[in-house]
Chains A and B, each alone.
Chain A
């Protein structure tokens, strides 16, 4: 498997905090690569660098062979790289359907003039956007909530809505920052299943998560960050045996959900 996303020597400093130090990581297409590590390890910072939200002090990020550092955020979506947010970022006053329709932005083209004049191209496109958004809502079990303002949705449904929005434009790689944080076991299980289904469509997934049961269950590869340093990358089995990883997670084996 050749890497779709390659991160090399990524370093970020926030004032006195070295959030990332020369981090290297790869994520292939059509596989789930988990990125784990304790609170403050730098996982979100890494995602933010890749998605153009944070400019790193050093390092390179290439997506499908193309350098993407410094590209404006919206260009990445056009290249096929989307993300979700650890702190929910739904469009609260728009309804669920419209939220997902925004997710189709990169996959459609009609501009200001076409929109104002309602050109035929635009009307065709609008229909396709709506159909895809409806398909996404049912994939994530949100179809009944299509016309609810997003801010009125339950927390778990807003989490799902973000996934639906990120998947709508048929990306090649999705960066998911803690998609099941705050969800109960049943919801976690369900979303884990959906993430696997996403992977089965040939889409690469970078999964940032604290839920070790989920991580070890669904991931093909696991990368471990600690204090901004990548301390290990390997299969779930390898990671669970890695002495340094075990030291980082003081609880040892149980932390990884190995008991079951």
Chain B
């Protein structure tokens, strides 16, 4: 294994150890719940980071993918009796197709058309969640979503979901890390830095951008489905455009192009609204403000700043 690989799996083992011991200390269900929400955000941000930090494209629609994952999986299992895991997979497939449809026309254009397209997409999805109330339950939300189960045992308690969600995070991190340190990952970094040279080297720029966008949307979808089966109830407000801003903020706080950065960003920002009442009240201003301050003073994010390095898209994440 390469030195980089050793370092990554060293960190990963440390993370796994902390996660294994944490429930011994954190027994209060309220705090366990916070940890679970952190896990789901980390999962979304990990996918988002592949898009923003490596391919250099920004999405303001990831809350919508998160929401589609939640609603599709919730409705299929709640209203149509699908097995929850099957519903989760079906949701991921649908989201992948939706991402393909959004990505194909926008990512072939130069410039950040994806931002506009995903922004509009998130607004539309939010409206549909409210308006299609026969299916979605409207503004008050969709209820009665069954839990996922593990060999017949329901994953309903905070602690059992804790193992599932953080297990998913570890898998998500490994997959993302493998991608980043591969031929494809180098291609993504290359197309971001010098598109002409990347193309001249054989990197199919458009296809790669579309594919990484789809992958990042699927990360969000899986997290959304997990969310739906955990809470059993979902409301449209959870998946609005402000949630998308929140996710991008987490990604940038931690450091674009650093998978550990995404973890820190999500771990740092997720609990704020839940733990501090003031933040809860002015949540959207809070995240918007952080984003603004960061982009001005700390564009490399926390991890980048700690490493004392300048902006490194897809740089030495590990």
Q: Does A116 contact B (CB under 8 A)?
A: yes
Residue of A nearest to B176 (CB): A116
A59 to B91 Cα, complex, angstroms: 49
- Within the complex, the shortest CB–CB distance from A163 to chain B, in Å, comes to 12
Most A-side CB within 10 Å, residue of B202, B203, B206: B202
Instruction: Name A52's contact: one of B183, B193, B199 (CB within 8 Å).
Output: B199
Q: Does B301 contact A (CB under 8 A)?
A: no
Contact between chains at B189 and A73 (CB < 8 Å)? no
Q: Does A129 contact B (CB under 8 A)?
A: yes
Contact between chains at B312 and A105 (CB < 8 Å)? no
Q: Does A111 contact B (CB under 8 A)?
A: yes
CB neighbours (8 Å) of B185 from chain A are 115
- Within the complex, the shortest CB–CB distance from A161 to chain B, in Å, comes to 11
Contact between chains at B186 and A101 (CB < 8 Å)? yes
A89 to B198 Cα, complex, angstroms: 9
Q: Does A53 contact B (CB under 8 A)?
A: yes
Number of B interface residues, CB 8 Å? 32
CB neighbours (8 Å) of A116 from chain B are 175-176, 178-179, 215
- Within the complex, the shortest CB–CB distance from B222 to chain A, in Å, comes to 14
Instruction: Name A93's contact: one of B197, B199, B313 (CB within 8 Å).
Output: B313
- Within the complex, the shortest CB–CB distance from A66 to chain B, in Å, comes to 16
A105 to B193 Cα, complex, angstroms: 16
Contact between chains at A110 and B182 (CB < 8 Å)? yes
Contact between chains at B194 and A90 (CB < 8 Å)? yes
User: Given A85-B197, A102-B198: A74 and B205 within 8 A (CB)?
Assistant: yes
Instruction: Name B190's contact: one of A76, A83, A85, A94 (CB within 8 Å).
Output: A94
Instruction: Name B203's contact: one of A102, A107, A111 (CB within 8 Å).
Output: A102
Contact between chains at A165 and B201 (CB < 8 Å)? yes
Contact between chains at A117 and B200 (CB < 8 Å)? no
Q: Does A125 contact B (CB under 8 A)?
A: yes
Contact flags B151-195 to A (C-beta < 8 A → 1, else 0): 000000000000000000000000110110011111101100110
CB neighbours (8 Å) of B198 from chain A are 74, 91, 102, 105
A72 to B211 Cα, complex, angstroms: 17
A114 to B198 Cα, complex, angstroms: 20
Contact between chains at B215 and A91 (CB < 8 Å)? no
Contact between chains at A108 and B183 (CB < 8 Å)? yes
Q: Does A103 contact B (CB under 8 A)?
A: yes
Q: Does A153 contact B (CB under 8 A)?
A: no
A175 to B206 Cα, complex, angstroms: 23
- Within the complex, the shortest CB–CB distance from B276 to chain A, in Å, comes to 37
Instruction: Name A165's contact: one of B189, B197, B312 (CB within 8 Å).
Output: B197
Contact between chains at A73 and B199 (CB < 8 Å)? yes
Contact between chains at B211 and A112 (CB < 8 Å)? yes
A122 to B179 Cα, complex, angstroms: 11
CB neighbours (8 Å) of B201 from chain A are 74, 77, 82, 102-103, 105-106, 165-166, 169
Q: Does B314 contact A (CB under 8 A)?
A: yes
A110 to B179 Cα, complex, angstroms: 11
Q: Does B196 contact A (CB under 8 A)?
A: yes
Contact between chains at A89 and B314 (CB < 8 Å)? no
- Within the complex, the shortest CB–CB distance from B216 to chain A, in Å, comes to 12
User: Given A112-B215, A115-B178: A74 and B183 within 8 A (CB)?
Assistant: no
A53 to B198 Cα, complex, angstroms: 12
CB neighbours (8 Å) of A53 from chain B are 196
A72 to B201 Cα, complex, angstroms: 12
CB neighbours (8 Å) of A83 from chain B are 200
Contact between chains at A73 and B196 (CB < 8 Å)? yes
Q: Does B315 contact A (CB under 8 A)?
A: yes
A111 to B212 Cα, complex, angstroms: 11
Residue of B nearest to A95 (CB): B316
Q: Does A51 contact B (CB under 8 A)?
A: yes
Q: Does B204 contact A (CB under 8 A)?
A: yes
A104 to B183 Cα, complex, angstroms: 9
Contact between chains at B189 and A126 (CB < 8 Å)? no
Contact between chains at A169 and B202 (CB < 8 Å)? yes
Contact between chains at A93 and B196 (CB < 8 Å)? no
A85 to B201 Cα, complex, angstroms: 12
CB neighbours (8 Å) of B193 from chain A are 91-94
Contact between chains at A102 and B196 (CB < 8 Å)? no
A78 to B203 Cα, complex, angstroms: 9
A169 to B200 Cα, complex, angstroms: 11
A54 to B314 Cα, complex, angstroms: 29
A116 to B180 Cα, complex, angstroms: 8
A107 to B201 Cα, complex, angstroms: 9
Given contacts A51-B200, A105-B198, A110-B184, 18 further A-B contacts (CB under 8 A): A53-B196, A72-B204, A72-B206, A85-B196, A89-B200, A90-B197, A93-B189, A93-B315, A105-B202, A107-B202, A110-B182, A112-B179, A112-B211, A116-B179, A117-B178, A118-B182, A162-B197, A165-B197
Interface residues of B (CB under 8 A from A): 175-176, 178-179, 182-187, 189-190, 193-194, 196-206, 211-212, 215, 312-315
Can you list 13 pairs linking A and B with CB atoms under 8 Å apart?
A53-B196, A85-B196, A92-B194, A98-B189, A102-B198, A105-B187, A106-B201, A106-B202, A110-B183, A116-B178, A116-B215, A118-B182, A122-B182
Interface residues of A (CB under 8 A from B): 51-53, 72-74, 76-78, 82-83, 85, 89-94, 98, 101-108, 110-112, 115-118, 122, 125-126, 129, 162, 165-166, 169
